[in-house]
Amino acid sequence: MADAGRHPNITLLTMSEIKEITGFVGNFRVRVLKRARYVIEKECTACGECAKVCPVVVPDEFNMGLSTRRAIYSPFPQAVPAAYVVDINHCLGHNPIICGRCLEVCQRRCIDFSMNDEELTFEVGTIIVATGAQPIDPTHLDEYGYGRFENVLTSMELERLINAGGPTKGEVIRLSDHKRPQSVAFIQCVGSRSTHRGHPYCSNICCMNTIKSAIMLKEHYPEMEVKVFYIDIRAFGKGFEDLFRRSKALGVRYIRGLPGSIHENAETKDLILTVENTATNALEKHVAELVVLSIGLEPPEDIKVLQEMLALQRNADGFYLEAHPKLQPVDSASRGIFFAGCAEGPKDIKDSVTQASAAAARAMRLMAPGVIKVEALTAIVDESKCTACGLCARVCPYRAIVVDPKTKMPAKVTQAACAGCGNCAAECPQDAIEMSHFTDEQIESQIDAILAEDPMEKVLVFACNWCSYAGADYAGVSRLIYPATNRLIRTMCSARVSEKFVWRAFARGAPVVLVSGCHIGDCHYINANHWTKRRVERMWKKMERLGLRRERLGLEWVSAAEGMRFQQIMTEMERIRSTVTPEEVRRTMEILAQEKVTGGNQK
């Protein structure tokens, strides 16, 4: 930790949050908000004189509220940076200064209440997302009485109690009477491995953490009775089984079965656990003076903010989704962005560090050549067709197009800024924009080829590269069976799907067409899929006007992790297809031939 604080190549921005990230691999532009610390980081020697005089006393979050701190404080003794910090929400007032006692005692004059939040911008070539996880709050799991019974703690709280630097200097005590408990019961999988309470996944670290804590208790207090209630003990890692055995040798008792409920003896504040021992099938009662809930890990509360900003994807458990679960475990689907640690899923320190080194190596590999090749999938304007209407510039999520309707200056695309979504090409009423490698002609040839034989039997699907096509791949990897009638056409973004593609498909006898993309908010091209939605809604209106059944055109969002959802949607689309008669398709073809809607991007 300290090494990171003093490394000449590392700039540490604490109390900071990412406001915006733009650009692309090799050239990301980052905007950060650094909140005022009110103590000059480089000047403060962490003498602590200020905290001694500060009159404000609040619970210390670092010690899980088991102790208190002042409004001016050091987060913890080994903090990096070591400087004190003013908790401005609790300080009696800095503008104007109400109390100011800390100012008076600080000899180095490093407390500065005129400090402001700062905005910083800089450029980087690669990004590593290491935002970690948060311990699960078990308050809502009421059967264990956390929050109601004083002597029910979480494993995180026990960590602070057992810590020599913690609020009790390492003495494990009960909160009700401040006495050392004679018996401690650990309950495993709290908030984990349950499909109806908390999270369905295994949090990975809690079994070993309990074994560790149980050993520490037995080593400190050999006479203490320590029991562990569990479903399975997962001690799969190197050296783990040894620790498990060691704990048993020290007298830790393992009982298979999770307590159904916990009651408190109102007088002694002891806890009574009722549990069905699944090894003996007997209903047992156990008394413990202290209960420790072995809580798991969940994604940080604010994970969505960064996820949307970087257009990253998450799996059903809520953690970031890697580009490939086996072959690219630390890459995100976006080039130049990598994952390390619990951000990608719950894991212990060793695995977090391993992943971090892997992510660093992947980033270095990408930066090493000094230049990077980017796919030439950009938009190209045919100036002779452009009427300078300005619609394309309006829909471009990257503001990569300039066009001036007043002076009739034709649209111009900045190649370096264009991400290649194709939204502009789908929007242009003059067909003046061609997408490189995803031209109208190329896509139309795929539509025609698919519908050339037995069109009635087909479900034509447009799928975006990042989410829905990846979701279809995931269904495949998971061997999820669905009807063999669908035919996918891949585009980079669902916003590439021009309305004319859909009309063309119907005009050539497609019974059903599906447009699919990333969930709203997860679009790989900022918000291009909003335009997908608008186009499909416009087409639905038109279909109604023309007397076509609108359910024949589907719009679905599928993430890269939603293989099952893809399977369900394909099954549903097949159901709709089976309701379409040859007569209906023939009528559609007649209507569309009269309407001549198959020409340009007609609205």
Partner 1 sequence: MAKKAMSDSPRIGVYVCKCGSNIGATVDCAAVAEYASTLPDVVHAVYQSYTCSEPGQEQIKKDIKEFNLNRIVVASCSPRLHEPTFRNCLKEGGLNPYLLEMANIREQCSWVHALEPEAATKKAKDLVRAAVARTSRLEEKTELEVPVNQSTLVIGGGVAGIQAALDLADAGHKVIIVEKNPSIGGIMAQLDKTYPTMDCSI
Which of 443, 422, 366 is closest to 535 using CA atoms? 422
Q: Provide the Cα torsion 531, 466, 498, 400; round to 10°.
A: 60
Which of 64, 62, 55 is closest to 100 using CA atoms? 55
Shortest Å distance, C-beta 356 to ligand FAD: 8
Shortest Å distance, C-beta 187 to ligand FAD: 14
Nearer to ligand FAD, 135 or 138 (CB): 135
C-alpha–C-alpha distance, residues 183 and 169, integer Å: 20
How many of the other CB atoms lie within 10 Å of CB of 23?
A: 17
Q: Which does 373 bind (CB under 5 to 8 A by kind): partner 1, ligand FAD, ligand SF4, none?
A: partner 1
| Candidate list 49, 150, 317, 348; residue touching partner 1; CB under 8 A | 348
Nearer to ligand SF4, 423 or 598 (CB): 423
101: its two tokens: 């006692």
Tell which positions 75-134 bind ligand FAD, by CB under 6 A: 130-133
Element (H or E) spanning 189, and its range?
Answer: strand 183-190
C-alpha–C-alpha distance, residues 123 and 552, integer Å: 47
Q: Does 418 bind ligand SF4 (CB under 6 A)?
A: yes
Which of 117, 101, 107 is closest to 44 using CA atoms? 107
Nearer to partner 1, 283 or 477 (CB): 477
Shortest Å distance, C-beta 320 to ligand FAD: 11
Q: Does 391 bind ligand SF4 (CB under 6 A)?
A: yes
| Candidate list 71, 106, 126, 259; residue touching partner 1; CB under 8 A | 126
Instruction: State the angle between helix axes of 563-579 and 468-477 in degrees (0 to 180), rounded to the nearest 10.
Output: 100
| Candidate list 56, 88, 124, 156; residue touching ligand FAD; CB under 6 A | 156
Q: Does 75 bind partner 1 (CB under 8 A)?
A: yes
The SS3 of residue 584 is helix
The site string for ligand SF4 over 89-118 (x = CB under 6 A, - otherwise) reads --xx------xxxx----------------
Q: Does 209 bind ligand FAD (CB under 6 A)?
A: yes
How many of the other CB atoms lie within 10 Å of CB of 235?
A: 16
344: its two tokens: 């990608």
- Tell me the C-alpha to C-alpha distance, in Å, between residue 301 and each of 135, 200, 297: 11, 17, 11
| Candidate list 342, 359, 489, 553; residue touching ligand FAD; CB under 6 A | 342
Nearer to partner 1, 211 or 396 (CB): 211
Q: Which residue has the tokens 């999270």?
A: 199
Q: Which does 155 bind (CB under 5 to 8 A by kind): ligand FAD, ligand SF4, partner 1, none?
A: ligand FAD
Q: How would you label 297-317 residue by residue, b for 16+ Cβ within 10 Å and e otherwise?
A: bbbbeebeebbeebbbbbbeb
Q: Does 492 bind ligand SF4 (CB under 6 A)?
A: no
| Candidate list 201, 254, 339, 398; residue touching ligand SF4; CB under 6 A | 398
Residue 580: half-sphere exposure toward Cβ, Cα within 13 Å: 27
Q: Which does 15 bind (CB under 5 to 8 A by kind): partner 1, ligand SF4, ligand FAD, none?
A: partner 1
Q: Which does 433 bind (CB under 5 to 8 A by kind): ligand FAD, ligand SF4, partner 1, none?
A: ligand SF4
- Tell me the C-alpha to C-alpha distance, in Å, between residue 166 and each of 67, 116, 171, 186, 480: 9, 33, 9, 20, 51
Q: Rounded to 5 degrees, what angle do the CA atoms 428, 431, 433 make?
A: 75
Q: How many residues bind partner 1 (CB under 8 A)?
A: 132
Q: Does 39 bind ligand SF4 (CB under 6 A)?
A: no
Point out which residues pair with 412 in neighbouring strands.
402
Nearer to ligand FAD, 205 or 311 (CB): 205
Nearer to ligand FAD, 293 or 379 (CB): 293
| Candidate list 490, 530, 533, 587; residue touching partner 1; CB under 8 A | 490
C-alpha–C-alpha distance, residues 444 and 504, integer Å: 8
At 250, which amino acid appears?
L
| Candidate list 54, 91, 111, 129; residue touching partner 1; CB under 8 A | 129
C-alpha–C-alpha distance, residues 208 and 215, integer Å: 11
Q: Which does 71 bind (CB under 5 to 8 A by kind): ligand FAD, partner 1, ligand SF4, none?
A: ligand SF4
Q: Which does 391 bind (CB under 5 to 8 A by kind): ligand FAD, partner 1, ligand SF4, none?
A: ligand SF4
Residues that bind ligand FAD (CB under 6 A): 17, 130-133, 135, 155-156, 159, 205, 209, 212, 297, 300, 302, 306, 341-342, 347-350, 352
Residues that bind ligand SF4 (CB under 6 A): 53-56, 70-72, 86, 91-92, 99-102, 378-379, 381, 386-392, 396, 398, 400-401, 403, 410-411, 413, 418-424, 427-428, 430, 432-433
